[in-house]
Structure 1
Amino acid sequence: MIAQGCRIASQWCLAVGLALLWGCAGTGEMVSVNVQPQQPFVQSGQPEPLKIVIEPFEDLRADRSKIGQRTHLGGGVTNFNVTGGSPGVTVAEALAEALRWRGWNRRGWDARVVQSGVGVSGADIVIGGEILNFSANAKSRVFNTKLTGESRLVIKVKNLADDSSTQRNVQGEQTKLVFWFTSEDVESLMSGLLQDGIERFIADTKIEGRGLKSVK
């Protein structure tokens, strides 16, 4: 009787395990993730009179159909992409939002996103750039999921007053383990990477006259 009970228990555990694996299988669906700075910047006073326009970043990644995927324990994948499908717009909007709330000297600046090549009357600074890597991948394992996020951006600045320019390379990588995975984990990871990159860009540059210069 005991042996029979053990066999039944083993079969039941096996069935449950297979059911869990089947339930954890990916279907190849595309999930939109809302990537933006994790914490709101603290606005300080009225925006400075300098006008900054930001163009969507050029996406130079080999695979532009998604920013990454989750490999499921039971097989298959779930794909991720930013809301709207354009990381270049996502990066530009996040940068503009950060500058409006707290940019150089911890002040708010007049920054807005425009279409590439569209001139804005009275603009002082044009910021654009390239996305070399902006990816989030997750691998589900027994009892946890490992997430890896990578970001590599080239931020290009053109000062219209004197036609000068500067360029900064910003890159970062983060990993974390979660017990119960949701798409919000990807949002948090990539938002943190983007925020760190923007803060490094602000720290490495300074407003000088009506232009943006490198600190170094």
Structure 2
Amino acid sequence: MEAIFNCPVCGGPAAAVSRSPLRVIHECECPFAEPERYMAGQQTLERRLTLPQQFQAALETNQRRYASYELAGYEPRTPSQAQALKTMQALEPGRLVFLGGPAGSGKTRLAVGTAKRLSREYGLSSAFYGEAYLVDTLRRAAGREVTRPDLNNPDILILDDVGKAAGGREHWMEAFYALVEYRYANLKTLIITANHDLEEVCESLGKDRNNSHALFSRLASEVVVNVIGKDGRHE
């Protein structure tokens, strides 16, 4: 039996497992001796099995090119990429991460692969948005054309290609800063990818220098990863 099904209290192996619906039976005394801890472990197990599948399904529907991305498939070609991979392999939940570097250096693969890893290990929900798509969706939501996406709820949120969207920059700066602050305060993972360094991206989001500086200060205090390498898309 897979180790993931072991008793969350004593670590003993499962006696039987049914996946649909999920039911795991242990013959130890833990379900009776420590019922609250045991049930919490069972709930975490269910999240670890279902939430990664939900994220994978969302990628296959909305970002098919990225659906196969895993950290295991990332092949570093420079010391910078090797260090970036090491950082993302060790990343724990609840951090703000900025991945900056040229196009094709593997930032999106690192972001998606990390979200999948954290989702599997900790039972966390994940969501992915490209900045251009998100800015347009927020604009349309303001006009009540579409429903505003819930950016606060996912445990892990990826914002891809930040700093490239045109139009609505001041409005986006306010929303972006509020999002960063919310996720920081509530220990929810945010992974940002961009083709420029952190300072350039913060300056590009709006003309208010105070807001730009505050955003830079917040993100710079967390995890900033430079991913430098040739454009792997054309090799």
Asked if Structure 1 and Structure 2 have the same fold, meaning a TM-score greater than 0.5 normalized by the shorter chain, the answer is no
By percentage of residues, which structure has more helix? 2
Structure with greater Cα Rg: 1
> TM range, normalised to the smaller chain?
under 0.3
TM-score, with normalisation over the residues of structure 1?
A: 0.25
TM-score, with normalisation over the residues of structure 2?
A: 0.23
